[in-house]
Amino acid sequence: MPDGDTIGSCLALYRFLVDEGHEAYIVLDDVIPFDVAGFIHEPIYSVADYDVLKVEANLVFCIDFSDLERLGEKRIPLMANLQTINLDHHKTNTYYATINVVDTHASATGEIIFDLIQLSGLPLKKEYAEPIYVAISTDTGSFKYSNTTGRTHSVISKLYETGIEVADINRTLYQNTPFHRLRLHAEAMNHLELYHHNSCALIYVSLEMLDLCHALPQDSDGLVEAIRDIRGMELVVFLKEIEPQIIKVSMRSKKTIDVSAIALGFNGGGHKHAAGFTLNMSLAEALNKVRILVGNLQ
Ligand SMILES: [Mn+2]
């Protein structure tokens, strides 16, 4: 699912391009998270919608994703005939585009969008600053994670100068939780498994739990971070049943464990403290696999 950085970066770049007289389309084939939905005032096209439009695009910006597989197989041959620009900050980026602007020191892709607008010499407008703030705030966990740098804060201070309403943005992003989400989190917490003197945790959300709590798949967002935040917790592995044989595994670590290295072993990717991969097996089989993985860690 696209996150605040993906959407914020798309919106800022889109608004900038449109203001500069370009015809642009945001193509995003996924569910929009509830916390960022309120910032979108422009049309978002699914891949199917976009195909119907029959636009003769000559340039595609690939925003905030590390490899083409994330797009789904159908898009790769279509993209092969187009000029592509990859704007990303994941260290697992595969440099798949014609031009690759990959800055692994950027806290968020939003920071890279900010740089591009600055480089253009054109004014930074409030309409770009707001989604860039959303991008950076969400990808840094509200400026708490180790990807937050002095530069991140200096970028944010430039965003303030445009007159963005930060308190309002933060209310929309962080004080807006639907009740069924909390119910789902409580249900998952009842099945929490702890390892290595409570320093590693395994948690999962099954399709059955979603049903029970009348929750949506995206309602599991934030659960893995909440477990990570427990005192003494170093690693959290979260399994999410997407379909009966498709299990998405997300990992979060606090200090020393590099979860992107673990994810790469399963053809996944991500950052040192946040990474994931997919297992094509039943939830029960995936749980057993991950129990062994976590149990063997030191
Ligand atoms: Mn990002």
- 70/292: higher pLDDT: 292
How far does residue 111's CA lie from ligand 1's centre (Å)?
9
- How do residues 123-178 score in pLDDT, each as one tens digit? 999 999 999 999 999 999 999 998 999 999 999 999 999 999 999 999 999 998 88
How far does residue 66's CA lie from ligand 1's centre (Å)?
10
How far does residue 90's CA lie from ligand 1's centre (Å)?
7
How far does residue 55's CA lie from ligand 1's centre (Å)?
27
How far does residue 6's CA lie from ligand 1's centre (Å)?
6
What stretches of 29-83 show up as alpha helix (H) in DSSP? 34-37, 47-53, 75-79
How far does residue 36's CA lie from ligand 1's centre (Å)?
14
How far does residue 139's CA lie from ligand 1's centre (Å)?
6
How far does residue 20's CA lie from ligand 1's centre (Å)?
25
Place of tokens 């798309």: 10
Q: Which pLDDT belongs to residue 250?
A: 97
Q: Which pLDDT belongs to residue 8?
A: 98
CA–CA dist 134, 113 (Å, integer):
12
- How do residues 83-126 score in pLDDT, each as one tens digit? 999 999 998 899 999 999 999 999 999 999 999 999 999 999 99
Phi, psi of 25 (to 5 degrees): -135, 135
CA–CA dist 279, 293 (Å, integer):
13
How far does residue 108's CA lie from ligand 1's centre (Å)?
5
How far does residue 122's CA lie from ligand 1's centre (Å)?
24
